[in-house]
Structure formats: C-alpha cells, structure tokens
Structure 1
Amino acid sequence: MLPKGANLQKIRDGKKTYAITPHLPGGFIKPDTMRKYADVADKYHGVLKLTSAQRIMITGLKAEDIENVWQDLGMQPALGFANCVRSVKICPGSLFCKRGKRDSIKLGMELDKLYHKKEMPSRIKLGVAGCPNSCAEIYVKDVGLLATDQGWDVYVGGTAGAHPRLAEKLVESLIDDEALRIVAIILRYYEKNADIERVGQFIDRIGFKKFQADILAEFYGEESRRGQAETPASGEKLKPVPGALTEGTLVAGDKIEADSVISDIIRVYPQTVPVFRSFGMGCLGCPSSTDEPVTKAAEIHGLNVPELLSALNKVV
C-alpha cells in the first residue's frame, strides 16, 4: 500500500523512495511556505523538484516519514485519483506580463478551485494562457484557454506524452463567464460519455464535428447543431484508437495473465480499477498502460505478480 498522499518514485536495491507533491494553485507560493518546504526536505533528506504542473515536489522520502512530512508542512495530504483533473497550468497573464492580453491568473485560479482533483474517465490537464505565446502550453492540454484581443479561444483534445496530439479550436472570442461555462459543459460531456481515454482520444473516436456540435448545442442552443454530424446509434461498439484504451485482444471471459496489457484489462474488466488502486498503481489512463503488461507494471511498482494477478482475477 502507498503511504498516504505519496507516489512511488524509485526502487533501488530493493529500497523504495517516495515523493509528495503539495498543491500549489497557479504555482504561487509565499516565502514562509517556501522556507518550510526547504526545512522539511532537509530534515528528511529529500530533494525539491519543480514540476511541469507548477508545483514543488519533495522526493527521495522514506515511506515511514511521509505522515510526519505532511504534519511538519502543516498540510493535509494531497489526495486524488489517477484519473482526475490533475493540474491547471496558468501563465502570468496581464497581471504580471507586458504581453498579457487578459487576466489568465483570475480565470485559471477559478478553474483550479472548481475542478482540481475532480474524478474523470482519464487524467485531465487544463491550461490558461494570457496571450498567443501560450506559455501555459494550451495546445497540448485536454482543455486550453488562449487569450486574444477579442476574448478567450477554447481548444480541446491536446496531449503530450507517449501519443502526442495537438488541440483543436472549439470556439473563440468568449468573455470570462462564457469561458467558465463552456469548460463546465466540456467536462460534463466528457465525464458522461467517454471511456477510460483522454479527451483527444475520445474526440478521435466520436469525431470532432460531433464533439463540437454537441458542446455548442448546449452552449448556444440547438441551432448550432444543424448541418453537423448525427449522433451515433446508442450502444455503438467502441472502435480501436491508437494510444487509447480501446485496443487489445482481451475479451470478456478471458483470465488475466502476466502478459495481459493494463489498458486492455480495465477496458474489459472495469471492476479491476479499485484493485489496481489498492495496490498503489496509477496505471489508469496513463499513456504507458497502452502497451504495458502486468509483469512490467508490477516490476515498476515493486509488486508481487502472482499476488496481483490473484486479486485481479478474484474480482473478474
């Protein structure tokens, strides 16, 4: 079992080290909190690491120290599911940057407050950029907001990682309230209709025209749907999409073996998701799980393969 609020980082000579990543909305931190981070890292022989999600990780920690680390920081453990809104990346925007066209910090902080750690079909990353330089990397975010002179342009379906995909423009020139409302519609639609797949993979499966038509139909009203793609028949079988969790050879009734692929298992047997979580495995929605067998995942996490297989097949 994972220590509370920690992630396994490394196994070296049979010894495991862990990391914690306290939540820092927008990457803002006060000097006294920064000093506390440094003191705690020093006390427990950890190392501070700036992450791409604008947070500060303390890594190189021992399992038995994790609870004391959180107590010394004076924070509650940053808990969450592997499949959730992982981060909201925010650029300095008009508040701090000479090139900023709009207040990306205000909008980004509101999105963080509304959605951070909200459970989703797969991991979700949001980005808010205050100008077309896109320092918040909105083109590789599941949902990205880009400020222009006319308003906020909204992009969807971007991802980096093992299967990179550039985001597509969904709508443009929105005011702040409209941007917040359409993000709510996007996430609600994705949460209701997606398989265990990133937003871009979901869009590739159903088609961008349908995705756009459905979102804008709710945003503007049904008039926006006219002339767009029709909704597929109810119960339509998922079609394999490269990099998504909709491909593989496992079928219902098959026993889970050591060489069974993680993404294939959770597609066919979604009831195994709590089992993976109970073993401290963050495989759900991870790009690596697309072609990672149980043996490899277990090795990375330092788990006993027969024990894991037994638990998985028990719920199957």
Structure 2
Amino acid sequence: MLPKGANLQKIRDGRKTYAITPDLPGGFIKPDLMQKYVDVTKKYGGTMKLTSAQRIMITGLKAEDIENIWQDIGVEPALGFANCVRSVKICPGNAFCKRGKQDSIKLGLELDRRYVKKEMPSRIKLGVSACPNSCGESVVKDVGVIGTDEGWDVYVGGSAGSHPRLADRLITGLNYDDTLRIVDIVIQYYQKHADIERIGQFIERIGFEKFKADVLAEFYGEKSAETEPKVSQSEAGEKIIPRPGGLTEGNLVFGDPITEDSVISDIIRVYPQTIPVLRAFGMGCLGCPSSAGEPVQQAAGIHGINITELLAALNKVVPANN
C-alpha cells in the first residue's frame, strides 16, 4: 500500500521514492506556509517542484518519512481518492490581469471548495479562465469555464494526456450563480451515469447531443427526456473494438483470461470486479490517460508490483477462471 497521501515517483536499484502534493487551492500560498515547505523539504532531503495544477510537490521522499512530513507541514493531501476531483486551475482574473473579463478567483475557489477530493467515476480536472485567452487551460479540462463580456461560457469533456480532446461548449453567457448551478448538474449527471471514464470519454460513448440535452433540460427546469445512456460494450457482452483516441487500445473480450499484455482500461471495463484487486495492489488511478494504452505488465513494472502475483489475483475473480 502507498504511504498516506503519497505517490510513487521512481524505482531505482530497488529503492522507491515518493512525492506528496499538499492541498493549495488556486496556487495561493502565504510566506509562513512557504517557509514550512522549505524547512520540511530540507529536513527530509526532498526537492520542491511547481506542478501544472498550481501546487507545490515535494518529491524524492522515503516511505517511512511520509507520516512525519504531513505532521510537520500541517497541510492536508491534495487527493482524497485516486478517482476524484483533482484540481481547479485558476487564472489571475480581473483582480490581477488587465485582460480579465470576469472574477476567476472567486469562482475558482468556490468550485475548489465544493468539489476537490470528491470521489468520482474517474479523475476530474476543472479550469477557470477569466477571458478567452484561457490561461486556466479550460478547453482541455473535464469541466472548464471561460469569461467573456457577457458572462461565463461552460465547456465539458476536455483532456490532455495520451488521448487529448478539446472540450465541447455546453452553454454561454451565464452569471456567477448559474455557472455554479450548471457545473453541479454536469457533475451529478456524470456521477449518475458514467463508467470508469473521463467526462470526455463518457460524452464520446453516449453522444454530445444527448449529454447536452439532458443537462440543459435539468438546468432550464424542462421535462427531461433523460434515459439511461447506452451500456458499455463489455456490459452487453460484445467485443470492444479498439480505435485511436478511443476508450481502449486493447482487445480483451469477456471470457478471456487476463494476461500480461491485457490493457488496464480493458480489464476494468470487461471485468469491473477487478477494480478492488488493482487498488489493493496500489494501482488506484484507474481512469488516468495511461490506462487506455498501458499493458498490465508495464503498469506493474512502473508500480514495482510482482506481475505473477498480480495476474493470479486478477484472474481469481474473473468468470473465465471460476
């Protein structure tokens, strides 16, 4: 198991090093807390790294030091669950930037307060940009908002990673309160209907028009034509056809044994009962971009897991071997 609030960073000559990423909403930090970061990093021989999510990672740490580090720094971990709302990236907004058209800091910090660390079907990232320059990278976030002269435009389904996807524009010109309300509707709809998949993958599976129609019907208080989105191919017992940029790059079919070449996303989609097994071995981030193309043997090597033991545990719970 991973140490509390830590990520495995490297395995070199059998030695594992870890990183922690304390919660730092919007990247704002006061001098006294920054000094704690510096002191703790020196004390435990780590290195500080500014992340793309506007946080400060401390890396190069030993597993046995992690608990004491959290106590010394006095800040909570940035993650609650592997599959949760990860971060809200916030541009400086009209409080600090001459081009800002809206108050991104106010909106971004409220979104952070409401959603960060909340468990989700997969990881979620949010971005808030005060103008169309999109310094919050809103169009490559699962949910992104962009400020204009008319208000906030809301985008859904963006991601970067190994299968980048530009977000779809859902609605435009909202005020502050309505923006919060539509984001809440989007997240609740995703929680209710999605599999272990990013919002963009979920949209690809059910179609953007259906996603938009159901969400906007709830937003406008209309009678919803909402129906259950179509089941995934694995639930229907059909073969998953790999396609570039799609949900999977493997070819595992229901009834097949899991092998060292089976792709992680295939395994969890075809055999969802393997999810607790993977998590028990320390592979909790099952919706990350790497899972869509990473064979289990490669993932095991990265995490320092014995592939023979992992395969035995996985195949023990699949119908093909019971």
Normalising by structure 1, report the TM-score: 0.93
Shift of 1:278: 1.7
- Which residue is equivalent to 1:75? 75
Matches within 5 A, 1:118-197: 118-197=118-197
Aligned to 1:13: 13
Match of 1:311 in 2: 313
| Distance verdict in 2 for CA 1:127–1:253, change over 3 Å | same
Q: Indicate if the aligned counterparts of 1:157 and 1:168 stay in contact, CA closer than 8 A.
A: yes
Give the secondary structure class of the aligned counterpart of 2:146.
strand
Using a 3 Å threshold, how does the CA distance of structure 1 residues 312 and 76 change in structure 2: closer, same or farther? same
CA offset digits 1:238-284 (Å, max 9, x no partner):
77564444564323333222221111110011121122122211440
Q: Which amino acid aligns with 2:254?
A: A
| Alignment-derived partner of residue 60 in structure 1 | 60
Residue by residue, what CA displacement relative to the aligned partner does 1:150-204 show, whole Å, maximum 9, x if unpaired? 1000011111110111111110000011000000000111111112211111112
Contact 1:158 1:200 in 2 (8 A): yes
Match of 1:256 among 241, 255, 258: 258
Structure 2: gaps of 5 or more residues: 235-239
Tell me how far 1:46 sits from its aligned partner.
0.2
Runs (5+) with no aligned partner, structure 1: none
Aligned mates of 1:210, 1:113 — CA distance in 2: 29
Alpha-carbon separation, structure 2, partners of 1:11 and 1:236: 36
Measure how far apart 1:289 and its partner are. 1.2
Which of 268, 284, 287 is equivalent to 2:286? 284
Alignment check: 8 A CA contact 1:245 1:267 kept: no
User: Does 93-102 or 178-187 show the bigger shift?
Assistant: 93-102
CA distance in 2, matches of 1:126, 1:100: 18
Correspondence for 1:49: 49
User: Could you say what secondary structure the match of 2:165 adopts?
Assistant: coil
Distance 1:181 1:209 in 2: 20
Structure 1 residue 290: deviation in Å?
A: 1.3
Q: C-alpha separation between the residues in 2 aligned to 1:80 and 1:232?
A: 29
Q: Give the match for residue 104 of structure 1.
A: 104
CA RMSD of aligned residues (A): 2.0
Q: What CA distance in whole angstroms lies between the structure 2 residues aligned with 1:234 and 1:280?
A: 31
- Distance in 1 between the 2:232 and 2:55 partners? 41
**Aligned mates of 1:236, 1:197 — CA distance in 2:** 11
Q: What is the TM-score with the length of structure 2 in the denominator?
A: 0.91
Q: By how many angstroms is 1:57 displaced? A: 0.1
Q: Which amino acid aligns with 2:107?
A: L
Q: Which secondary structure state, in structure 1, belongs to the residue aligned with residue 287 of structure 2?
A: coil
Other-structure match for 1:113: 113
Structure 1 residue 314: Cα displacement: 2.6
- Quick one: distance in 2 between partners of 1:58 and 1:236? 39
Deviates more, 1:247-256 or 1:165-174: 247-256
**Structure 2: distance between partners of 1:92 and 1:305:** 46
Matches of 2:152 and 2:129 in 1, distance apart?
Answer: 9
Q: Could you say what secondary structure the match of 2:170 adopts? A: strand
- Deviation of 1:286 after TM superposition, in Å, equals 1.3
Which residue type is aligned with residue 294 of structure 2? E
Asked whether the 8 Å contact 2:84–2:122 carries over to 1, the reply is: yes
Deviation at 1:221, TM superposition (A): 2.8
The number of equivalent residue pairs is: 312
Task: Please say if residues 201 and 243 of structure 1, whose CA atoms lie closer than 8 Å, have aligned partners that are also in contact.
Answer: no
AA aligned opposite 1:28: F
How many percent identity over aligned positions?
74
Q: Who is 2:27 aligned against?
A: 27
